[in-house]
Structure 1
Amino acid sequence: MRGIELFAGGGGLLLGSALAGFSHDAAIEWEHNSCETLRLNQSKDYPLVRGMDILESDVRTVGWSKYGTDLDLLAGGPPCQPFSLGGLARAALDPRDMFPAMTHALSVLRPRAFIVENVKGLLRSSFADYYSYILLRLQHPLLTAREDETWKEHLTRLSKEHTNGVHDELSYAIVPTLVDAANYGVAQHRHRVIIVGFRTDIQADWSFPKPTHSAAALHAAQMDGTYWEQHRVPQKDRHIITAKNGDASLKPWRTLRDALHGLPDPRSKESSQWLNHNFQPGAKIYPGHTGSVLDEPSKAIKAGVHGVPGGENMIRYPNGEVRYYSTREAARIQGFPDRYEFSGAWGETMRQIGNAVPVQLAQIVASSVAIALEEATVRNTMDNSIEDMTSANGRMDYAKS
């Protein structure tokens, strides 16, 4: 199945959808260092980025005609700064708001399905009207704003046309979901809004994948000792998770210790044998800046370096020592394969990783979309066959009479 990736960044959503079976015609990203990462891996013939166009370009300037209109998946995470808790939160007034560019691409490419990812901040009450606007624009990408029409005026018109049952030639059935990546086997707490849409003529039978991991299961594994035995952690270094939510019959949340298993300390000589695994000095603890403990999922990797508010990009050891994640460690936490290399200095690579979609979460969502599309194709083929047989039998009965 064919896909195109917008706002590709360092490649998290791209790799996840490739693992799910989508072959990408193109990846579009305006930021140079992120494109260098994609090019670097393509030059090494990394299979998941093989053969695709890498366009270092503003999405708004791309000519889509060369890619045709038989695309299966359009995916992307529009820049989150307009909605992020760490940004200025200006939404539609922020020039980095790329949701209009996303809907324009939808209107031209007309993919069978799309996946959009963004930050939890998008759901804040102050963004309620604009979030409604985003959802309606994704549902009806051809109903564009008129000249001199503000987004609020456009929202009013979209709402009326949507509730009046307007059926344009292109529309999407959408399902927005708030998820914590830790519930899907990612070794970090990462709360994100994921919006999945299917073109309404596809008639997909789809729902968001159910969680596979839980805090309750991790707590149980720590309490009965199996977790500590697996990692050979002495009694004095054990930190038992306090959270007990979720279904205990699921797999345990993956912890920071799980994610980093097998990686040498970046301060050791062995670290030179690993890609992007260099020690970064200067980590400190101060109020509110405490890092992540080894035996829980990491705090969400942030697209920042020394000044990240909660010390999200630091490990905190049982003895109280802290240090920054190496690029490879952060990549492991986000689910990037060890063979996948990042271009740039530590701060730049952490920005790419911190802006990425966890690869495993992307794979789970994209796989469910791929299955729904395949099943829809099979149903459509069977329906057409039955219709053809019915028509043929009708002609035979007519001929006999």
Structure 2
Amino acid sequence: MKLNAVEICAGAGGQALGLHKAGFHHTLAVELDQNASKTLKTNSDLKNSGFSLDEVKTGDVADPGIWKPHEYKGIDLLAGGVPCPPFTIAGKQLGANDERDLFAWTVEQVATVEPRALLLENVRGLSMPRFAGYRQHVLDRLTTLGYVAEWRLIHASDFNVPQLRPRFVLVALQEKYAGYFRWPKPLLNAPTVGESLKDLMGTRGWGQIDDWVERANKIAPTIVGGSKKHGGADLGPTRAKRAWHELWVDAHGVANDVPGPKDEYSLDGRGPKLTNEMVARLQGFPDEGKWIFEGPKTSKYRQIGNAFPPPVAEAVGKAIKNALGKKGEAVARKPVEHDPIYKVLKEVGDFVKVESLQTAGDKPLEISEVELSISRLGKDFNIETFSDNGVTKYKLGSFKAFTGQDDHDRHAMFLKSRAKIS
């Protein structure tokens, strides 16, 4: 019997497909991008996809006119791949101040939807010290709602995906199920790029295919889908392009077709470009015909490149399903503390001397370390500072993130940037 799921920021369906294979049926998927929504609908209707969902809504997930969270109260799983730009290392890491940030908003919907489980994934940047306070806020909020939550950095290559692709995953379960959850164990020996793509790259009889397979005998770097703000399709920033070059792949774009018998590439220069079908396979999607991407070439690439690899979503989904079925022996789970200074400031609820914050963690902190932590917190929270006779005190104020407030700056900023958000 399949469990029911609602997924927001569903993209092209990487997470949805993986969860479907894990035993979840989507009663609703919400996605901002029109082409990605078409992709979800097309594959739901496609007989070969082995995937179906009841309804797709297109638009801003935080717009109450698009969907009403309370109508899905008690769903088995609330899932999503909320926007990554607020946290990505390659960006400005604006966090709570980024109009694309929907992480805190999604967590807040747990109070309304009351799902048995929550699954959210994002980029590795969210795991960095810069967002320790943000993460702590999320954990504490879920605790007050009766959930036990945990973050885990997962590499796609650990689940037979020929790509590194580290993702920072949050899983939260209602207390009665939390003890049964076990993170999926990594698998061994993920296929290389050459092994994975040999048949596709050699489809038209390219004479250098064996040399290429030998050169591409590694796991791929993380594929970067990019956004509407930044040009066309390519496989990533400068460092990623260098890694692709070592695999004899030209990362400066996406090809319309594979090399033919008369095509020849210098062994010292750029190799052939990948096609969207190849990129999709490196992400763990089924081959073309079993999963169709809608829209023009660049849109297809972005949908593929920004997806959560289906095999990873399937592995995590199965672990959640087992927990909801209370399989195995329950083990007490205690949330990991991410920011002790945040915890002290929140618990006190008033001004705290800097000297007191120096003993907040497991080991004494230098004043400079406390100040650095406060500086980071100040990017996502309003921090009040008070000095009296040379003694500095700090007080934790409100969270800056959008959690559903009618008067939040997010609304105007979102409308202004709407055409560039993807």
Letter in 1 for 2:217: D
Q: 1:316 corresponds to which residue? A: 248
Residue deviations 1:52-110, cap 9 Å, x none?
A: 2101021112212333x231111111100000122221000001000132113211111
Instruction: Report how far residue 129 of structure 1 moved.
Output: 1.6
Match of 1:296 among 218, 222, 231: 218
Secondary structure class of the residue paired with 1:75: strand
1:323: Cα distance to partner?
2.5
Three-state SS of the structure 2 residue aligned to 1:173 is: strand
CA spacing shift, 1:179–1:49, aligned 2, 3 Å: same
- Equivalent residue number for residue 332 of structure 1: 281
Counterparts of 1:89-238 in structure 2, within 5 Å, are 89-140=93-144, 170-213=145-188
TM-score under structure 2 length normalisation: 0.63
1:18 partner letter: H
The 5-angstrom pairing of residues 279-290 of structure 1 reads: none
Aligned to 1:370: 321
Name the CA distance, whole Å, in 2 between partners of 1:10 and 1:17: 13
> Does the CA-based 8 Å contact 1:203-1:376 persist in structure 2?
no
Aligned to 1:14: 16
AA paired with 2:275?
S
CA contact 1:28–1:59 (8 Å) conserved in 2: yes
> Cα RMSD (Å) of the superposition?
2.6
Match among 189, 193, 196 for residue 256 of structure 1: 193
Q: Is 1:9–1:35's contact at 8 Å kept on the other side of the alignment?
A: yes
The 3 A distance-change label for structure 1 pair 369 and 84 is same
How far has the Cα of 1:261 moved from its partner?
Answer: 4.1
Contact 1:76 1:115 survives alignment (8 Å): yes
1:50–1:203 Cα change, 3 Å: closer
Q: Secondary structure at the match of 1:186?
A: coil
Change in CA separation of 1:313 and 1:14 when aligned onto 2, cut-off 3 Å: farther
Sort the Cα spacing of 1:128 and 1:254 in 2 relative to 1 into closer, same or farther, 3 A: same
Partner amino acid for 1:43?
Answer: D
One-letter identity of the residue aligned with 2:283: Q
TM-score, normalisation: structure 1: 0.67
**Structure 2 residue aligned with 1:239:** none
Q: 2:347 is matched with which residue?
A: none
Please tell me the residue identity of whatever aligns with 2:126.
L
- Distance in 2 of aligned mates of 1:264 and 1:124: 37
CA pair 132-363 structure 1, distance change in 2 beyond 3 A? same
In the TM superposition, what whole-angstrom CA distance separates every residue of 1:95-138 from its partner, at most 9, and x where no partner exists?
10001321132111111111110110012222222222233233
**2:10 aligns to what SS in structure 1?**
coil
1:70 and 1:127 mapped to 2: Cα distance?
Answer: 30
Structure 2 unpaired stretches of 5+: 207-213, 227-232, 250-265, 331-422
Q: 1:64 is matched with which residue?
A: 69
Output the amino acid matched with 1:172.
Y
Instruction: In structure 1, give the amino acid aligned to 2:307.
Output: A
Range 357-366 or range 57-66, more displaced: 57-66
- CA 1:130/1:107 → structure 2, altered by over 3 Å: closer, same or farther? same
Cα deviation, residue 201, structure 1: 3.0
The percent identity for this pair of structures is 30
